[in-house]
Amino acid sequence: MDKKKNESKHKRVQLARLGSQLLFIALLAGGIYMNLRMVLLILLPASLLFGNFFCGWVCPYGTLQELTGTIGRKLFKKRWKMPRAIQKYLQYLRYFLFVILIIGIADTLLTPVNAYGTFMGQFMNQSGRAASVLSLWIMGSFLLISVFFERPFCNYLCTEAAKYGVLSMTRLFSVKRNEDSCISCRKCDKACPMNIEVSACDQVRNGQCINCMKCIHVCPVDDTLGFGKVKWPVGKNRKNKGA
């Protein structure tokens, strides 16, 4: 495919994603997002095949973090990244919180941390109980942090994202990199909001991936990054995780 066609295809994908994000923000503001939760459940089993399309295309709180992140990038012309040595371990925090949540001690341990639920509860289900001041404070703080670091809540604390992340480990379709044409510029790594080292993968099968397709969008070499069927079995020699 020629360069122009490639670029306009990637732009269309990003526009479609933005449209989807804005639509769900509008649905949230209109108080009907909660009614769609059952429909959105379809995204969960879909993660088994296609990975996580919830965080990067639907979740209003993810969108808000992305928005404040964009403001931060414009203001400071720079994004701070979690050092890889820390990211390697810190990325599992949300899964740990998810386990705590499902073994039922969440009420005592996670009420402040799992602010997402409370935040959404207030805005989506307006007849429900009000969110605690602490939870809203936490949500606000993470929006502030995301001015400097991309999607901090999604990356480390969101148990909803952890759920999709676990299911997407088996994904059959994902971001793929052509090692032969890659020039190792690492633009994909810089663009990835989930701190995945895309340039070190030949296929991304990291549970952190939110299918935002930003890595594909910024790659300067045509047909080097794309979304497609991953190779199975995942052999020891295959580079998959990027973290």
Judged by the rule CB under 6 A, the positions of this chain that interact with ligand SF4 are 175, 177, 182-188, 191-192, 194, 196, 198-199, 204, 209-215, 219, 221, 224-225
Fill in the DSSP letter of residue 48: H
Q: How far is the CB of 208 from ligand SF4 (least distance, A)?
A: 7
> At its nearest, how many Å lie between ligand SF4 and the CB of residue 209?
3
| Angstrom distance (rounded) from CA 191 to CA 98 | 27
136 Cβ neighbours under 8 A, 6+ residues apart: 115, 118, 119, 122
DSSP secondary-structure letter at 176? E
The runs of H, that is alpha helices, within the chain are 3-29, 37-40, 43-50, 60-76, 84-90, 93-102, 106-109, 115-124, 133-145, 152-156, 159-167, 187-191, 214-218
Which CB atom, from 127 or from 184, has the smaller least distance to ligand SF4?
184
Q: Give min distance, CB of 100 to ligand SF4, in A.
A: 25
Residue closer to ligand SF4 by CB (options 101, 219) is 219
At closest approach, how far in Å is the CB of 123 from ligand SF4?
25
Nearer to ligand SF4, 159 or 206 (CB): 206
Residue 64 or 191 with smaller CB distance to ligand SF4? 191
Q: C-beta of 218: minimal distance to ligand SF4 in Å?
A: 6
Of the two residues 101 and 171, which places its CB atom closer to ligand SF4 in the complex? 171
What are the C-alpha distances in Å from 105 to residues 90, 109, 120, 208? 21, 6, 20, 24
